[in-house]
Structure 1
Amino acid sequence: MGRCGVALQPLVDALKQELLTQPVLHADETPLPMLKPGNGKTHRAYLWSYCSTPLSSMKAVVFDFAESRGGKHAELFLDRWRGTLVCDDFPGYEALFKSGITEAGCIAHARRKFHAL
Structure 2
Amino acid sequence: MASWTGIQPFQTLIVGIIGFAGVITTLWFNARQARQQRTLERLHEAETLRVALIEELKISRTAVVENSSSMDMAQDAFVPTAPMDDVYRAFTGRVGLLSELEVGKVMIAYLTLRKS
Normalised to the residue count of structure 2, the TM-score between the two structures is 0.28
More helix by share: 2
Q: Quick one: higher RCO (CA 8 Å, sep 6+), 1 or 2?
A: 2
Instruction: Tell me which protein shows more strand as a share of its residues.
Output: 1
User: Could you say which structure has the larger radius of gyration?
Assistant: 2
